[in-house]
Amino acid sequence: MSFAKDKEAVVITGTSTGIGRACALHLDEKGYRVFAGVRKETDGDTLKRESSDRLTPVILDVTDDETINKAAELVSELTGDSGLFGLINNAGIVVAGPLEFISLEDFWRQLHVNLSGQLAVIQAFLPLLRKAKGRIINITSIGGRQPVPFMGPYCASKAAFEALTDSLRMELFPFGIQVSIVTPGNIKTPIWDKTRKRSQEDIKKPPPNIHEFYGEAINSMLKGASKMEDSGLSPEVVAYVVATALEAIKPRTRYIVGMDAKIQVLMSRFLPDRLRDRIVSRFLGIELKPVVSKHRSDNK
């Protein structure tokens, strides 16, 4: 059961490509007044050419408080007493690589974009959401429920975002603000192609131990990731689920998108850790076996 929300206002972050873009165009088609967060004006112009006049691009960088506050002021001015019906937090990046060699600067950047930046956006738009008794939908990832090797920073950020969302749901319930998590599995988006190219470049950089210790495993994982990307679901599938969460009279607290994601949820719930490790690694083409050092000398 659902209800129509013609021309209700929604804000979506990270709409330049992938899931965010699909959500912006789909909700625009359904009659919502979409404020599409982009970091570059050119991306906003592209969205405008493919949408109706209900869609308004808004410069919004989740790591830049000034753009967040300006976006909130603009939306407040244009929505008036109606407030904001929906906030879809989708913006995100992927920092990948062996945790042994991930720089702390890159790790904090991962958490800034995928976690603290999301909270900054939520805080800025909550007064408008309270006016409309609106809804917050946070896009996480199955990686937050089922971590994989060489994606530690990304998986950690998404696991933390799930925990933050659970707390937020309970805190905002008294105000009539519904909070849902949408957890996609394998989705075809440009973010994975960017991650793959960067990972291939990173293992060629110093320190040389990266390639010695992890080069073979990373290359195997990248090949497996390419196959997964080719078989991934369209971002539009996630957009349909987001619309469902917006329009359900009693939205679920969690929506798992994709059969692969549902299987991984069951694995994380019922399988022993070491068995799950072997299954995940084998699926990614990584062989889990002890490494014998070339420099080891046996004492007799």
Residues 6+ apart with CB under 8 A from 277: 288
Residue 181 host element (H or E): strand 178-184
Residue 88 host element (H or E): strand 86-89
Catalytic-residue membership of 240: no
Burial 115-124 (b: 16+ CB within 10 A, else e): bebbebbbeb
- % of the chain at pLDDT higher than 90: 73
pLDDT band at 285; cut points 50, 70, 90? confident
Q: Which of 154, 214, 240, 255 is catalytic?
A: 154
Strand partners, 257: 184
Determine the Cα–Cα distance for residues 64 and 86; give it in Å rounded to an integer. 21
Least confident of 36-40, 89-93, 292-296: 292-296
Helix (H, G, I), strand (E, B) or coil at 82: helix
Q: Cα–Cα distances in Å, from 225 out to 162, 196, 199, 228?
A: 23, 8, 12, 5
Determine the Cα–Cα distance for residues 142 and 63; give it in Å rounded to an integer. 23
Class of CATH domain 9-189+234-272: alpha beta
pLDDT in tens, 200-233: 565 556 566 777 788 788 877 777 666 666 678 9
Looking at residue 191, what is its pLDDT? 63
Token pair in block for residue 259: 């059969």
Token pair in block for residue 59: 């410069």
pLDDT in tens, 143-202: 999 999 999 999 999 999 999 999 999 999 999 999 999 999 988 876 656 666 665 565
pLDDT at 297 over 80: no
Determine the Cα–Cα distance for residues 155 and 218; give it in Å rounded to an integer. 16
For 149-163, the three-class secondary structure string (H helix, E strand, C coil) is: CCCHHHHHHHHHHHH
On whether the pTM is more than 0.85, the answer is yes
Looking at residue 214, what is its pLDDT? 84
Which phi and psi angles does 101 have, rounded to 5°?
-120, 0
